[in-house]
Structure 1
């Protein structure tokens, strides 16, 4: 039987009650986003709390997380409490739309690996559907929130599949959010483009920067050097 947790160098992520488990692309995302200088961070759709914990490890920020699924929110709270950064981590159990109504803060960095399937067939697992499909969190609601609560000099980071990334990039300017940088992520040197990391800011960008693609694995099915450099502070066996 597989472990009900994922052990990192400085923290453990229990995930038995979460629909979305720890996965490689989320770990890459959490290691990549620039949070070192942030004083306040918001993780939208935290699930297990993975991104918030990765952020806490390499920053001094106060980190809030939002999670719609009540069981996942409870597990994230437990993961936060068991970490070395419990005093800087908190989770709101409920929808982003409800959190928007009570939130009084703005954030230097907002990060999210949001639900992204818009018209795909759903599975029998309702919790997984909520985590994967945009029904409960349309892109428009996500962007509206970020327009209201991102600091003027702050950044929004999103992890999305390529098709959904294109969709979001088209509607983001209507919310005064403009693409600053895009990083294509490939499964391997000969694999497919399966994720994009997008960085947005408030206010126009003259020329968005499209970075050279990164590859999770080499042709020999080993972790790439770039991936190893990013994840070395986190993974036990790198």
Structure 2
């Protein structure tokens, strides 16, 4: 059974009430995205609030987080309040579709680790289904929102499995959002590619950059130097 909390260097993430727990690829995502110059950030599908907390640690931005699940709303709110940055973290208890109906805010960074299994079978856990499957939160909703609410020089960051990432990139062009960079995340050196971290903007890119990172060395135990460097300011073990 996962721990009821995950302790980072500067904050703690309580996760007992959330269907989706803190995981390595989400931590990598939160550490990789560029938030240093952002003044306002939106986290779509906050869950525990992990990505919002990571963004707050590396920026001076106001970080807002949209979350539809009542249990996750409570958990994220508590995690925000217990962090060093409660005045810069705001939980919006709504679906993205509901928030989009009245929001006129522009964001320098929009980030999301969205529901992603487009065709796989759902489990018996309804909360986990909402967190992992495109049903209540569709790719089109994310793209429509980003098209309207990204600042002119803003960036949209997504964490998705490779096949879903490819699908998302095709949809994005219809919303005048263009893939700028893909970071392919591998379980280990020579291992399986499990996620793509994608960066989008309103500027067309003729040849999007493709980068790679492995979480562990070939021994599948030792963290790689690249992973260690990214997570150094977050993980207690580094």
In the alignment, the residues of structure 1 paired with residue 2 and residue 19 of structure 2 have an alpha-carbon distance, to the nearest angstrom, of: 15
In the alignment, the residues of structure 2 paired with residue 186 and residue 216 of structure 1 have an alpha-carbon distance, to the nearest angstrom, of: 6
Matched, 1:47 2:47: yes
**What stretches of structure 1 move > 4 A for 4+ residues in a row?**
none
Gaps of 5+ in 2: none
Deviation at 1:74, TM superposition (A): 1.0
SS at match of 1:84: coil
Structure 1 residues 115-172: Cα deviation after superposition (integer angstroms, max 9, x where no partner): 0111211101000000000011111111000000001100000000000001011110
Deviation at 1:51, TM superposition (A): 0.3
Corresponding position of 2:16: 16
Deviation at 1:102, TM superposition (A): 1.9
Structure 1 residues 70-108: Cα deviation after superposition (integer angstroms, max 9, x where no partner): 110111011000001000000111210001012121100
Corresponding position of 1:168: 168
In the alignment, the residues of structure 2 paired with residue 136 and residue 102 of structure 1 have an alpha-carbon distance, to the nearest angstrom, of: 18
Alignment of 1:1-238 (within 5 A): 2-211=2-211, 213-220=212-219, 221-238=221-238
SS at match of 1:163: helix
Normalising to structure 2: TM-score of the pair?
A: 0.98
SS at match of 2:196: strand
Q: How large is the Cα RMSD of the aligned pairs?
A: 0.9
In the alignment, the residues of structure 2 paired with residue 61 and residue 191 of structure 1 have an alpha-carbon distance, to the nearest angstrom, of: 36
In the alignment, the residues of structure 2 paired with residue 174 and residue 3 of structure 1 have an alpha-carbon distance, to the nearest angstrom, of: 42
Mean CA deviation greater in 79-88 or 98-107:
98-107
Deviation at 1:2, TM superposition (A): 4.5
How many equivalent pairs are there? 237
In the alignment, the residues of structure 1 paired with residue 2 and residue 172 of structure 2 have an alpha-carbon distance, to the nearest angstrom, of: 40
In the alignment, the residues of structure 2 paired with residue 205 and residue 186 of structure 1 have an alpha-carbon distance, to the nearest angstrom, of: 25
Q: Are the counterparts in 2 of residues 118 and 133 from structure 1 also a CA contact under 8 Å?
A: yes
In the alignment, the residues of structure 2 paired with residue 237 and residue 214 of structure 1 have an alpha-carbon distance, to the nearest angstrom, of: 19
Q: Are the counterparts in 2 of residues 8 and 234 from structure 1 also a CA contact under 8 Å?
A: yes
Q: Are the counterparts in 2 of residues 43 and 63 from structure 1 also a CA contact under 8 Å?
A: yes
Gaps of 5+ in 1: none
Q: Are the counterparts in 2 of residues 70 and 94 from structure 1 also a CA contact under 8 Å?
A: no
Q: Are the counterparts in 2 of residues 178 and 204 from structure 1 also a CA contact under 8 Å?
A: yes
